[in-house]
Chains A and B, each alone.
Chain A
């Protein structure tokens, strides 16, 4: 109602011109019947304080104070207060979607800088303006590979997040795509060899995760070369914080890199909003889905930013579009850019190093408990798997009562790993918290 600019005088003039006595008269003559809504059972409105009180009570049912050792793709990292303080500025927070560049230079520049940051992080040449989350980004990468190669077979490692694989399976249900899933090798190299062996000249892409779902860090260069030798694209889903310390997927030669940007200054928030990133080799730029911001000069030679290569998108290319996504996660991408800018290259590396050293310490503490055994002996970043005599879900449940989200019970997605839990450690965890977890776990075993 407040958005219709017609005045009462305008309405009277229109009605007179159309020959109606009133709006009701018009509806009646047009034969339009309005249902009479029944509003009897709706109670009286409550005061602002009563509503706040009621909703706070509901919110308190959430367990938000558990000491968090759960990862599995979404991590409890420190978010500097400055990140929200900048992102919450009205100029950013309520800015409209940037289809009119002359009115959106701030937003567009921020997205351009975000794209630059993602390229540097992943070691790749071109990034898009972001996608919805790591899972849909991986799906988009797979579809991109299918379009580029013209092939309909996809090889995916079971060491890729089971949540992402579930999303991909859902999206593919009505698509003519053959998905070949290679079982995880329980921490041995044989898993990668099996993935390589499954690639044929009918494969559009091979999909792996780095570090993999179990936290293992593997050198994927050999896999990339083997896939590309058969004309398939190499796709990597990566954990961005790890990229500050490890060899980048770009250095390994991957064609497409995607991932979840939640770890870059975005709160866990019970599942979202999150941030999908995608970066590709230059030669695939025109096949990338999503928005892309470019830098150019205006008529006066001044630097300006625009949404570019829009001929990939559905509002221009219709059914030949690279994808149906015509949006991005602008605010989350902004948070990521602010976070990375505040950390700086050295600071970001330091975050990763803290994650690694605390994970090593935590693993030592947990393995010192009688009955706890390690799973996998290779290099890991900040996540590792342990096995106990108890069922993983049961153990995690008991530790919740002690105030810990101790880890992710792998049995939920990997039936042969019923007694294993995946433990993640970030820079946020203290020595005291880690020791307390170890003590609590020991008491239960």
Chain B
């Protein structure tokens, strides 16, 4: 399934009922050099808009929001040693997975084209 974006600049990609999510290029660029990614603990149930975890850069701490509801699954352990990977390739570096995701809940999100337009308007 294709990638979808939230207005809060997270992307989410569904595969069956498991989704991978991360932050967009725009978000990574705005944050600056990322120094630490707090991987959320697995097992927690989240609703759309809940804070999943935080990403720290040299100048700020940003909340990462769950674009849709689900249960937090596996976290990307590579980010512990190399948080800079999120700056290098944010669109292809996942932060964590969400389990039990409903494909129907993606209606409020933007596809890549719509998101690109949205970013231009900012």
A interface with B by C-beta (< 8 Å)? 286, 311, 316-317, 320
Contact = CB atoms under 8 A, between A and B. Distances in A.
Nearest to A317: B61
A317 B57 CA distance: 11
B111 interface: no
B114 interface: no
A311 B54 CA distance: 11
A320 B61 contact: yes
B75 to A, nearest CB: 16
Mostly, the B contact residues are strand
Mostly, the A contact residues are helix
A320 B60 contact: no
Q: Which of B56, B59, B60 has the most CB of A within 10 A?
A: B56
Given A316-B59, A317-B61, A320-B54, 7 more contacts: A286-B36, A311-B35, A311-B36, A311-B56, A311-B60, A311-B61, A316-B60
Contacts of A286: 36
Nearest to B55: A311
Interface in B103-121: none
Contacts of B59: 316
A316 B36 contact: no
Contacts, number: 12
A317 B54 CA distance: 10
Interface in B46-65: 54, 56, 59-61
Interface of B: 35-36, 54, 56, 59-61
A316 B56 CA distance: 10
A320 B35 CA distance: 17
A317 B38 CA distance: 14
Contacts of A317: 61
A365 to B, nearest CB: 57
Nearest to B54: A320
Contacts of A320: 54, 61
A12 B24 CA distance: 55
A311 B63 CA distance: 13
Contacts of B61: 311, 316-317, 320
A368 to B, nearest CB: 61
B110 to A, nearest CB: 28
A311 B83 CA distance: 15
Contacts of B36: 286, 311
A394 to B, nearest CB: 57
Contacts of B56: 311
A311 B56 CA distance: 7
12 contacts: A286-B36, A311-B35, A311-B36, A311-B56, A311-B60, A311-B61, A316-B59, A316-B60, A316-B61, A317-B61, A320-B54, A320-B61
Q: Which of A311, A316, A317 has the most CB of B within 10 A?
A: A311
Nearest to B56: A311
A286 B61 CA distance: 13
Contacts of A311: 35-36, 56, 60-61
A252 B46 CA distance: 39
A320 B64 CA distance: 14
Nearest to B59: A316
Contacts of B54: 320
Nearest to A316: B61
A367 B75 CA distance: 63
A287 to B, nearest CB: 11
Q: Which of B35, B36, B54, B61 has the most CB of A within 10 A?
A: B61
Contacts of B35: 311
Closest 4 CB pairs of A and B: A311-B56, A311-B61, A317-B61, A316-B61
Nearest to B60: A316
A152 to B, nearest CB: 17
B3 to A, nearest CB: 28
A317 B56 CA distance: 10
A267 B56 CA distance: 41
B59 to A, nearest CB: 8
A78 B76 CA distance: 54
A52 to B, nearest CB: 51
B45 to A, nearest CB: 15
Nearest to B63: A320
A311 to B, nearest CB: 5
A439 to B, nearest CB: 63
